Amino acid sequence: MLANLANVLPIFALILTGYIARRSGALGPNATREINRLVITLALPALLFDIMAKAQPAQIWHPGFILAFTGGCALIYAATLALRLRQGSHLADAAIDGLNAGYANTGFMGFPLVLAIIGPAGMPGALVATIITVCILFAIAIILIESGLQAEGRRRDILRRTALSLVKNPLLIAPVLGAIFLVTGLPLPKPADSFLKLLGGAASPCALIALGLFLAQNAGRRPRAGVGVQSLLIGLKLIGQPLLTWLIAVPLLHLPHDLALTAVLLAALPTGTGPFMLAEFYEREALLTGRVVLLSTLLSLLTLPVLMALWPA
């Protein structure tokens, strides 16, 4: 419990910093959008490139783990997407809600938590989960969002406009370019490596500060989707995803103890800031997403210790 609390305290501290900065007037009403643009167009692409370029094939090739974690993500995302579309949500909103329910905070919380509970043996799994979540799941959501938004134009231009938007999107270009270094084994030049570390390191703190700014700016407002949808998304994230991941990892694949625990533990993490960044950037239901990120992180202080207590030694 204390280790989990220590891992999430910096998250709340950064959100609170943004909240206070906006309420005190230290940052103005345009700060949320501008800081979020910094993350989307510069910092996060640098981080995605860095993750992909430095990954080692031997580290990330764990078929059972990949299947278990990806299966949990995919099933939750697809189920949430289908449910929200059936409830009448726009495709762009449903795609973001899928992230709310299936986008685990592997980058910020996953590595220190796995290191504390599993040890160094769990680090490759945390890297794989980060690539799956931040690169692949994120890319699928962007494709769906762009498809939904372009569909509002003339039908004959949908494919052309969607393809053009995707090709110009730095969040999709960066991991693809990074994958070239992964496949070829080319080393990053030292100046480029330092540049990416500095720029990519700004992604998480800036995103959390932007979330705090946004929450302060919209204090007192209620999401259009309502408390029921918010509770559903949080429940799917904190309970549904780890449960499905466990079903695939243990009864179905019979993964070794530590590998299965790593997959389930990472799946049980709260929602990361990625969905909020997309919701704010594309001007969708960012208030709902912001609350899901905040509340799921807070509730994970209870759900993660329960998971560890129930897991057999």
The predicted pLDDT at position 134 comes to: 83
Q: Please report the pLDDT score of residue 6 as a whole number.
A: 66
**CA 245 → CA 73, 74, 252, 255, distances in Å?**
8, 10, 10, 11
pLDDT at residue 278 greater than cutoff 60: yes
Query: pLDDT confidence of 126, banded at 50, 70, 90?
Result: confident
Maximum Cα–Cα distance for the chain, whole Å? 58
Section 253-259 average pLDDT: 93
User: Rounded CA gap, 300 and 3, in Å?
Assistant: 12
What's the predicted TM-score (pTM) here? 0.82
pLDDT exceeds cutoff 90 at 285: no
Cα distance between residue 188 and residue 226, in whole Å: 47
Whole-number pLDDT of residue 156: 54
pLDDT at position 155 is 54
Give me the pLDDT at residue 151, please: 62
pLDDT of residue 122: 83
Q: What is the pLDDT of residue 85?
A: 94
Among candidate residues 137, 145, 164, the one with its CA nearest the CA of residue 66:
137
pLDDT reported for residue 121: 81
Domain that holds residue 77: 2-310
Q: Do the beta carbons of residue 245 and residue 68 sit within 8 Å?
A: yes
Closest of 147, 125, 146 to residue 245, by C-alpha: 125
Mean pLDDT over each residue of the chain, to the nearest integer: 86
Residue 152: pLDDT over 80? no
Cβ–Cβ < 8 Å for 226, 288: no
Range with the lowest mean pLDDT among 84-98, 144-158, 173-187, 217-231? 144-158
How do residues 19-68 score in pLDDT, each as one tens digit?
Answer: 999 999 999 888 988 998 898 899 988 988 988 888 888 777 889 999 99
Helix (H, G, I), strand (E, B) or coil at 55: coil
Alpha carbon distance 125, 37 (integer Å) = 30
Which residue, 270, 268, 293, 267, is CA-closest to 280? 293
Q: How many domains does the chain have?
A: 1
Distance CA 215, CA 220 (A): 9
Q: Is the confidence at residue 102, as pLDDT, over 80?
A: yes
Residue type, 304: L
Which CATH number does the domain housing residue 226 bear? 1.20.1530.20
Residue 165 has pLDDT above 60, yes or no: yes
pLDDT value of residue 54: 85
Q: Which of 276, 298, 304, 125 is nearest to 204 (CA)?
A: 276
**How many beta carbons lie within 10 A of that of residue 115, not counting itself?**
16
Judged on CB neighbours under 10 Å (0-12, 13-18, 19+), 104 is buried
